[in-house]
Amino acid sequence: MGTLSDSTNASDDTVGEIRRALGQRDLGSFPVLLGLILIAAIFQVANPHFLTPLNLTNLMVQISAVGTIAVGIVLVLLIGEIDLSVGAVSGLCAAIMAVLSVKLGVPAPIAIGAGVLVGAAIGLLQGAWVAKLHVPSFVVTLAGLLGWQGVLLYVLGDTGTINLADPLITGIANARLPVAIGWLAGVLAVGAYSFSVLRERHQRIQAGLAIDSFAIAAVRIGMVAIGVLVAIGIMSVDRNPSGDVPIRGIPSAVLFFIGCIVVFDLIARRTRFGRSIYAIGGNAEAARRAGIAVDRVRVAVFVLCSALAACGGILASSRLFAVNQSSGGGDILLNAIAAAVIGGTSLFGGRGRVWSALLGALVIGSIANGMDLLAFPSSIKFMVTGAVLLVAVTIDAYTRSHHELALAGR
């Protein structure tokens, strides 16, 4: 009888630790995950094709370009700024790559590199304007939105549309990783994440810092492992069962998007530059007094944001095999910003994770994809996406004010 009581108490203690830990930390990603599950359930009931491997893989490919742009938006939001020019920059850089490759015969690697470098140069110009001349980023990048769109039309000229045929350029988004290599990469990724979590926990123990219980660490590792392996399993299924040639494997667009997230998440969390980004977003003046080169970091973030916008534009053009005058237009800018905010990045700066670009892009992409399957008009898609964005920003504002009141009450 005593053994049963001890076991029950131990179980209650573990549950209590998990509840306390969740109550003390930012729950930013958890509501988004719950929202994704709800969205998937609703659309699966409405249309049984929503959760098929073919549709889910197409969904990931569809969000890769906007998600890559959203990674740069996350970095800019973390320092408390905004970049409204990313859509126009993405289209312009893709057009420059296309003109160099198709019209001028420049080798594909050079054309791709030139497109990314132009994006970085645009970010350098806009970032310096914000940091050195103290013009609000909203105004500078709004001017960029108009100006770079004009440059895009000038670069394309009377051509209108440029079709891409170089296999290297079209393969950026349309190649596939072999199934065996995909599984190996997934297992290695889960192992690396597990090692990172346990290593960080060990370092905090040695430094005498507060840590989560081992149960919390195990839950985190388990959730990531399930997500990664299930995703690889879905993409490893033959998506053309009725055809002569099987289509399976992880699309290169998805690999590029996830790779960007992993790299910039490590930069944000593990480097001095990343810590400076969070410090500036939290309190720019305090960061300056602490010896952080605030202006230099701001410029660097805008450079990275525009370079990632260029990468997103090139990725989109690769998937569509063409660049035209509408490249980078439409709702790309709004979806990139919405993805960052819906995923849990604060509009007020200093709070959020790079992974929020993936979560937010999945939410927006799932809504658009599900409504397309149900043949809903664009008007409904815009209204639903806007409502989701408003809810996310409201939660962010409420959480921030609640946190400030809690600190003031101490």
Domains in the chain, please, with CATH? 28-41+49-178+249-408 (1.10.3470)
- Give 257's contacts (C-beta < 8 A, 6+ positions apart): 60, 63, 64, 67, 68, 315, 358
- Alpha-carbon gap, residue 399 to 52, rounded angstroms: 36
For residue 350, give the DSSP letter. S
Predicted confidence (pLDDT) per residue in 332-369, tens digit: 998 999 899 888 888 888 888 998 899 999 999 999 89
Give the E-state strand segments of 230-380 in sequence order: 250-251, 322-324
Residue 237 and residue 381: Cα distance in Å, rounded? 29
Task: Name the amino acid, one letter, at 237.
Answer: V
The contacts found for 239-243 with CB under 8 angstroms, 24 or more apart, are 239/53, 239/54, 239/57
> At 403, is the pLDDT very low, low, confident or very high (cuts 50, 70, 90)?
low
Say if residue 383's pLDDT is above 90.
no
Tell me the C-alpha distance between 76 and 228, whole Å. 27
Confidence tier at 323 by pLDDT (50, 70, 90) = very high
pLDDT in tens, 23-81: 444 455 677 888 888 889 999 999 999 999 989 999 999 999 999 999 999 999 999 99
Residues near 51 by Cβ (< 8 Å), separated by ≥ 6?
40, 44
